Amino acid sequence: MIIVPKNHKGLTLVELIFTVAILAILASVILPTTQLVAKRNKELELRRNLRIIRTALDEYKSTYDKAVTDKKIIPSVNQSGYPETLKKLVEGDDFGGLDTAKKKFLRRIPADPFNPPPPGEEPKWGLRSYTDEPDSTSSDEKDVFDVYSLSEEQAIDGTLYKDW
């Protein structure tokens, strides 16, 4: 049996409503902030993944150019020196014997956080070839010169992810 002192009173209805109102105001402020933080984290991941892939493409081109300079590869007119696919960055290339083993540039192809692949499939990126225009959305698929996000969403700063 609980004994309640006579001078102790419970919460009044006004106090309860006031407390619930304060909690509702706090929740309405915190929810959009958490959504913004989550979106900002995905944007940071997208920027990082684009940088990783673009750096690997540049390293591939640099290694190809070194193989040409060292006369390990005979350059052809229709080759730009960039890989034919993103998968080539993961599988590697020996560049005509320049390296004793295939040189790999990525462990895996990073995923686009705004356009994640279905389970078991490879990440999908928009690809640009060396001969494409800088803002092209279709590739002639001869090589991979650049990548971009396939997301049509707008970033926090107002730009589109596909323009990054």
Kindly give the confidence (pLDDT) of every residue in the chain, 164 residues in length, as a single tens digit, with 9 standing for 90 and above. 666 566 666 778 888 899 999 999 998 888 888 889 999 999 999 999 999 999 999 999 999 998 888 888 888 777 888 999 999 999 998 887 666 788 899 999 999 999 989 988 999 999 998 888 777 777 777 899 999 999 999 999 999 999 98
Q: Which domain holds residue 153?
A: 14-163
Q: What's the CA gap between 112 and 43, in Å, rounded? A: 10
Residue 1: inside a domain: no
Q: What's the CA gap between 56 and 64, in Å, rounded? A: 12
Residue 122: inside a domain: yes
Residue 62: inside a domain: yes
Query: How many domains are there within the chain?
Result: 1
- The whole-model pTM stands at 0.79
Residue 7: inside a domain: no
Cβ-contact 109, 52 below 8 angstroms: no
Q: What's the CA gap between 159 and 46, in Å, rounded? A: 14
